[in-house]
């Protein structure tokens, strides 16, 4: 599992359910490997366009100001918080978390985890990213292309499946 965003137990439950596991004898809850990118790799232009397109004017202004200041330390602390919330969410629904890490090269970390997995399916959680998803530059597309594996792309708090 790769996530750029904090998760709730409901998000973790939805991911497990979409993988076809409900914790019974036929399909026990999976063990989960969690990878969080240490520093988001989004372009400033893409962030602002996404925020404006989704009518998140306050976030567009915040993102622009933070990037103009070069707030990399804030982003690193955000990734640690994301990692902690993901671990907590999956543990609370009964999954075993076998590894959890913030990685500079998140794609390589996911790749090494997929090799050891039974399902060969990667769950990716992000916020909607209109520009990256349209150009297939988001994490879900990058993982799918690089690893040639199944990807379930989810947004936190949203019942549907991403692009």
- What span, in angstroms and rounded, lies between the C-alpha atoms of 38 and 44? 17
Determine the length of the chain. Answer: 163
pLDDT at 83: 93
Give SS3 for 150: strand
In this prediction, residue 41 carries a pLDDT of 64
Here the tokens at position 132 are 């990256």
Which pLDDT belongs to residue 11? 96
Mean pLDDT of 103-123: 79
pLDDT of residue 73: 43
- Please tell me which residue, 84 or 158, carries the higher pLDDT value: 84
b/e per residue 15-52 (b: at least 16 CB within 10 A): bbeebebeeeeeeebbebbbbbbbebebeeebbbbbbe
pTM for this entry: 0.78
Query: Exposed, middle or buried by CB within 10 Å (0-12, 13-18, 19+), for 147?
Result: middle
From CA 11, how far away is CA 161, in angstroms rounded? 12
Q: Using 50, 70 and 90 to split pLDDT, how confident is the model at 44?
A: low
- The C-alpha atoms of residue 49 and residue 54 are separated, in whole angstroms, by 9
What 8-state DSSP symbol labels residue 105?
Answer: S
Domains, the chain: 2-154 (3.40.50)
Query: Is the model's pLDDT at 153 over the cut of 80?
Result: yes
Of residues 35 and 73, the one with the higher pLDDT is 35
The pLDDT tens digits of the residues spanning 133-142 come to 667 778 888 8
């Amino acid at each position: 599992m790769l996530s750029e965003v904090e998760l709730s137990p409901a998000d973790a439950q939805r991911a497990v359910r979409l993988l076809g596991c409900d914790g019974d004898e036929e399909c026990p809850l999976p063990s989960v490997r969690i990878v969080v990118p240490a520093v988001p790799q989004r372009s400033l232009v893409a962030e602002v366009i996404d925020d404006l397109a989704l009518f998140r004017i306050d976030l567009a202004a915040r993102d622009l100001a933070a990037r103009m200041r070069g707030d990399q330390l804030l982003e690193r602390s955000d990734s640690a918080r994301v990692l902690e919330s993901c671990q907590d969410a999956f543990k609370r629904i009964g999954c075993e978390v076998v590894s959890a890490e913030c990685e500079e090269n998140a794609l390589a970390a996911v790749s090494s985890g997929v090799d050891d997995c039974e399902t060969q399916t990667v769950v990716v959680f992000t916020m909607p990213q209109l520009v990256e998803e349209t150009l297939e530059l988001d994490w879900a597309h990058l993982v799918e292309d690089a690893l040639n594996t199944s990807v379930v792309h989810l947004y936190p708090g949203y019942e549907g499946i991403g692009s």
